[in-house]
Every structure is written in C-alpha cells, then in structure tokens.
Copies of this chain bind each other. A is one copy, B any other.
Amino acid sequence: MVITGKISLQTKGHCDIIDITSQVEQEVAGAKINSGTVTVFVTGSTAGVTTIEFEPGLLSDFKAMWERNVPQNVPYDHDRRWGDGNGYSHVRAALLGASLVVPFNDKKLALGTWQQIVLVDFDNRPRSRQIIVQIMGE
C-alpha cells in the first residue's frame, strides 16, 4: 500500500535547517500502514534532506562545515552564466542528497532519540518548499 503526503513550508534560505520530524511522524500516524518505509524527498535543486541532532550548537557547526567545504566565496560557473548567485547552493544540495528513507515498525520510526529529520535549504533567499512524504508498507 502507498500513501503520499506533503509538507509545505517557508524557509529563510541561507542554510536554514528545519526539523520536520513531527510532521513526518504525523503522516505515518495517519496512514493505514503499520510497518514499512517513509521516503522523504525535497522537490528542487537547492535543498536537501538528512538527519541530525537538532540542537543550536550542531546547526551552527553543520553550517560552518558547508561554508568551509563548499564556500560561497569561490567563483561558480553557474553564477557567471545565469547571475543567480546560488551556484554554491546547488553544489551543496547535490552533495547532501534530496532523499532520505526511514523504516518504521508498529508506526514507530527507527530514529534515535537525538536524531531528527531535517530539511536544509541552501538557497540564497527565502523559499516555499514542498517535501513529499511517501509511506509504503503493510
């Protein structure tokens, strides 16, 4: 059986990290499926999905890692061609990945206590985002 939900949210961009765990859990709670997987997928090429312990120190550390490894202040061919100024956002998103798959049993996601599902919006401006939450199982 397949149930498809959607999370719509506003981000601030600029590596905004948003905890969507409770919304994903609500989708699973509302589906007539006890065990299976939930696929969390963000539509768009400047955002990604992962898990992290959602506490302010780590959110700052995660942003600093992106700034060190995929910095804004190197030249991007994307920006030279299109003038968007968000070449770094695309590269970060392609590296992090757009999808995450989390198993659940008896309606309970396999997450750890300090492991939250997050959307990371790398774009250089606020965005409206659609996250597909697809639940499959029995």
Which residues does A use to contact B, with CB under 8 Å? 1-2, 4, 35-37, 39, 41, 43-45, 50-53, 55-58, 60-62, 64-65, 68-70, 74, 76-82, 87, 90-91, 93-103, 105, 110-112, 114-115, 132, 134, 136-138
Contacts and interface: CB of A to CB of B under 8 A. Distances in A.
A37 B100 contact: no
9 residue pairs, one from A and one from B, having the closest CB atoms: A57-B77, A57-B78, A103-B134, A52-B94, A57-B81, A44-B112, A45-B53, A45-B115, A60-B77
15 contacts: A37-B134, A39-B103, A44-B115, A50-B97, A57-B80, A58-B77, A58-B78, A58-B90, A65-B91, A69-B69, A95-B95, A97-B97, A98-B102, A103-B132, A136-B137
